[in-house]
Amino acid sequence: MQANWKYSKEEIREMFETYYKCIEEANKRENRIKEAITAVLALEGQRVELKCPSCRRPDQDSGQARLFWQRVRNVDASTTHIDPSAKGIKMKKDMTLIIKHVDVSDAGQYFCVKDGDSEIIYQVDVLFREPQRTVSEKNIESLLPAQKLIDHNLEVFTHWSEWGECDQCDKKGRRLKFGTCMVQKIDADKPIVPVDVPIMTLYPNGVPCRSTVLSRPVAHLPGIKGRKSEIIAGECFQACPSTPAPIQVTDKNGKVVEIIEGGYHPIGKKPELPPLVKRKVLHKASGTHVTLTCPTSEKGKVRWQRGDRPINTATIRRQTKGRVFIDKLNRLHIRKLRIRDSAPYNCWIWQRHVAAFKVIAFKPMNENLKHYITYGGLFLTIVAFPIYCACKLCLAKPKRRKR
């Protein structure tokens, strides 16, 4: 690696040690299988991260390593290279592909390609809405059990995520655990009835029940179509972030030269400034559906406020009769926008203010009035043009004849 003032020798050494460990892991027998496809199911608007398991040298960029992402669309099976600078796309240094707000049109197969070979394949399916049922942690015995459809050579089960973050701090809060409905072959060597899906063998962990991989006859089997994904809602308690303890700064001999209180920075070192609050003004016509998304990828429960008043996730839907609600992706929805909904809306992650949206609702112009104004302007133009031409002719001076 060439000399670079950005990194110290110790940091460069750590980078290469991480690189060699990555190669060691990749060469293990259980990690050499590359043809398996990883199924990813996301809701529309969700943030999706696709990791590339390739080991990239610290002194090489993605171009030198001939590393890039490719996509095959579900609609027309066309293959395209993914542009890292495209809107809504972000590429990390380790080649992790991030789709900030996934859309139904983003569905398809994603390949991380290195030197012409695919390192990993993702089948991304995007749903507008996933049927779900919520179960209290106290009634966990009512969760749907795994079910074997012997006549169809299929097993239906629920794949569970880890517990989410607590939505409150320093008081009793609420946390969620998401379970996705999945389908898997019982016997990999036997076909599925009534229609076989050979590609299922490439999904060692199963396929989501609403995945486009499943053919229509299979997806509409009673044991699959009617089964919902599940959410476990439990209680939690988590302390709020506190002020860090004092830090002692020592010299090379171990002598204490400075004691830094929590929240302060050592002399001679520039403090890291917190990220700026993102601000946006939205002019929306009354009667429209407004969706506000908190622009953050941090872990932690998103809290919404209207001005200084907190919006209660559990009660806002009931109080507004379903007109205002917060969905599973922590997005704030305002249906049939009203003039009195004009207000600043703030989103927070714990005690950090992330973004502020100022919503200004206005009454849209009457469509008939718009037509009248258009026709009136056209009529005036048609009338005024000949009058203007006539005036120019009348006022023009007659030219003198030469004798």
CATH at residue 100: 2.60.40.10
Confidence of residue 192 (pLDDT cuts 50, 70, 90): very high
| The pLDDT of residue 2 is above 50 | no
pLDDT at residue 3, as a whole number: 45
End residue of a domain, out of 362, 380, 398: 362
Asked if the structure places residue 378 within a domain, the reply is no
With a pLDDT cut of 70, the percent of the chain lying above it is: 84
Give the burial string for 51-74 (b: 16+ CB within 10 Å, else e). Answer: ebebbbeeeeebeeeebbbebeeb
Residues 105 and 24 in one domain: yes
Q: What does 320-371 look like in DSSP terms, one character per residue?
A: TTTSEEE-TT--EEE-S--GGG-EEEEEEETTEEEEEEEEEEEPPPPHHHHH
Residue 217 sits in the same domain as residue 312? no
pTM, full prediction: 0.58
Tell me whether residue 248 is in a domain: no
Number of domains in the chain: 3
- Does 268 fall in a domain? no
Query: Which range among 30-39, 109-118, 320-329, 386-395 shows the weakest confidence by mean pLDDT?
Result: 30-39
Which contacts qualify for 341-344: CB closer than 8 Å, 24 or more apart?
A: 341/290, 343/306, 343/307, 344/306, 344/307
Q: Which of 236, 255, 286 is the last residue of a domain?
A: 236
136 and 203, same structural domain? yes
**Domain finish residue from 93, 112, 127:** 127
Q: What is the reported pLDDT for 251? A: 73
Secondary structure letter of residue 21 according to DSSP? H
Express each pLDDT in 71-102 by its tens digit: 988 667 778 888 888 888 988 877 889 998 88
Domain span at 205: 132-236
Same domain, 185 and 220: yes
Q: Is 181 exposed, middle or buried (0-12, 13-18, 19+ CB in 10 A)?
A: buried
Do 288 and 180 share a domain, yes or no? Answer: no
Tell whether 331 is covered by a domain.
Answer: yes
Residues 24 and 121 in one domain: yes
